[in-house]
Amino acid sequence: MSSHLIANNKSLLLCIEHVHKLLCEFTKTQKYVDSFGQLLENIGDLSFISFLPTFTIFHTFKKSQSQELLMKKRTLLSTVLLAMLIFSFVLPIEGVTKEESIEKFLEKARVDVQGYSNTPSDKITIKHTTLALEIADILQFDVNNTLDILLFYQKSQNEDGGFGSYPDLNSTWDDTYYGIKGLLKLDLNSSKIKEWNVFSYINTTARMMFYETANVQNITSVQPIRPSLSLIWKWIQYIEMSIASGIIPTVPFEFLTSYLRDLQFDNGSYVNLKTAVFANILLSYLGKAPRDISLASKYIRAFQTSNGAFSWEDHGSPTLNATYFAISALNAMDQIPFLEHKEAIVNFIINLQSPRSGFSEVGGNPNMEDTWKAILVLQMLSKLNELIAPEVLLTEGFVNLDPFPLILVLILIPMLRSKSLGLSLKNNKEQK
């Protein structure tokens, strides 16, 4: 928990400072309470507070000079312990926002200064570094040492112009796609990206993927391949990479437009949701619309479940992956205004965030890719402001209280009070 969050609660801060002054007054020295001041500056974990009572007891009692002073110190310690008990419950309620938890997740995922990993225990890759940069750009997080990240991209590029997942790996289409997107996030414009000579790899690979040689009546010609779902997605990537590189993509517009439109049946439906999603995203990149955009939108929205999220199957279980792609398609088609249950979708997405961490698929563990998808869904729904709210208000189980301070307080306060009472009775007898 960052120190500026505590500072936002002025009453708590004043209470801490007051106790600090009292400690200085009763101990007559500053060195025994220096840690209290440090606590105000550097507290990052609620459990650190649990060490304070032990420190205070040992060092405050060490300088006791009279029974009367000892009684005062024990009374003071009781006050400190009670204050700590309050902090143990109040501070989590004022806890970090969901946005700050994402930032913390990014910090942990930067396992190397040169890039980011999918999870804090993984190796850094081009893809996950790019996703982290996009998250940071959307949420306006600061990214330090970007020159080191740029060096990682340089080391991951091969002689053919493409990128590997990390240095010394062969180039792949997907890694090259994320490599170019990452360079854009590092403020390299299209003219600068041209200098990386990456388009030679893109053109060579695209010709092999998208076209085939046909022999008709002893005439050899090159024709575009009827694209599968995976090939449709690669066409989307190709167009994005070409534009990012400042080059007009070579696309068989009439062939692709006709093929993609024919994927929609006369009643407006498709073979499945994935076909509808991928076909309409690529059509939007081509500046075209499906045969019936209203029915296409209705078909996609029919896969929305009772909790607002989407499922790949009719009446199936909702997933983050299906929700991300379905909303991406509707967004590309300018159909978001017709989407129902937007608040339910937001709640579904928000509840996929783990405490003090990122997002995950339903039943999974937080990772960079799912965090990126969740944030993009919120962005497309214009709901990024939901990340500003404290995460402990999100859902049951988000408050992660440390029981140690409570146990320590419940044990020590009765002990201190009983000893103070004993000293008081002893003093009264001596006076009589």
- 237, 340, 224: which is closest to 282 by C-alpha? 237
Residues 362, 278 share a domain: yes
Report the pLDDT value the prediction gives residue 205, as an integer from 0 to 100: 96
Report the pLDDT value the prediction gives residue 220, as an integer from 0 to 100: 83
Residues 103, 83 share a domain: no
Residues 216, 124 share a domain: yes
| Contact by Cβ (8 Å): 109, 132 | yes
Residue type for position 7: A
Query: Which domain range does residue 243 map to?
Result: 97-251
Is residue 24, in this structure, part of any structural domain at all?
yes
Report the pLDDT value the prediction gives residue 96, as an integer from 0 to 100: 79
Residues 202, 245 share a domain: yes
For residue 124, CA distances in Å to 169, 237, 259 come to 13, 22, 39
| Contact by Cβ (8 Å): 351, 376 | no
Would you say residue 118 has pLDDT above 60?
yes
Would you say residue 252 has pLDDT above 50?
yes
Residues 263, 370 share a domain: yes
Would residue 313 be called left, alpha or beta, if left means φ above 0 and alpha means ψ between -120 and 50 degrees?
A: beta
Task: Give the burial class of 275: count Cβ atoms within 10 A of its Cβ; 0-12 exposed, 13-18 middle, 19 or more buried.
Answer: middle
Report the pLDDT value the prediction gives residue 133, as an integer from 0 to 100: 98
Residues 362, 262 share a domain: yes
Report the pLDDT value the prediction gives residue 78, as an integer from 0 to 100: 64
Report the pLDDT value the prediction gives residue 342, as an integer from 0 to 100: 96
What's the whole-number mean pLDDT along residues 271-295? 97
pLDDT in tens, 211-222: 999 877 778 888
What's the whole-number mean pLDDT along residues 314-326? 96
Residues 305, 230 share a domain: no
Residues 272, 126 share a domain: no
What's the whole-number mean pLDDT along residues 147-171? 97
What's the whole-number mean pLDDT along residues 296-305? 97
Residues 209, 334 share a domain: no
Q: Which of 10-19, 330-339, 354-363 has the lowest mean pLDDT?
A: 10-19
Is residue 239, in this structure, part of any structural domain at all?
yes
Distance CA 378, CA 370 (A): 12
Is residue 200, in this structure, part of any structural domain at all?
yes
Is residue 404, in this structure, part of any structural domain at all?
yes
Report the pLDDT value the prediction gives residue 1, as an integer from 0 to 100: 41
Q: Which of 64-68, 307-311, 320-324 has the lowest mean pLDDT?
A: 64-68
Is residue 394, in this structure, part of any structural domain at all?
no
Report the pLDDT value the prediction gives residue 3, as an integer from 0 to 100: 41
Alpha-carbon Rg for the chain, nearest whole angstrom, is 30
Residue environment code for 48-81, b if the CB has 16+ CB neighbours within 10 A, otherwise e:
ebbebbeebbebbeeebeeeeebbbbbebbbebb
Q: Which of 45-54, 73-82, 265-274, 373-382 has the lowest mean pLDDT?
A: 45-54
163 pLDDT band, cuts 50/70/90, is very high
Report the pLDDT value the prediction gives residue 418, as an integer from 0 to 100: 58
Residues 373, 258 share a domain: yes
Residues 118, 241 share a domain: yes
Overall pTM surpassing 0.85 (yes/no): no
Is residue 127, in this structure, part of any structural domain at all?
yes
Residues 159, 264 share a domain: no
Domain with 380 in it: what CATH number?
Answer: 1.50.10.20
Could you give the number of structural domains in the chain? Answer: 3
Q: Report the mean per-residue pLDDT for the chain.
A: 81
137 pLDDT band, cuts 50/70/90, is very high
What's the whole-number mean pLDDT along residues 224-236? 96
Among 230, 251, 272, give the residue marking a domain's end: 251
Would you say residue 154 has pLDDT above 50?
yes
128 pLDDT band, cuts 50/70/90, is very high
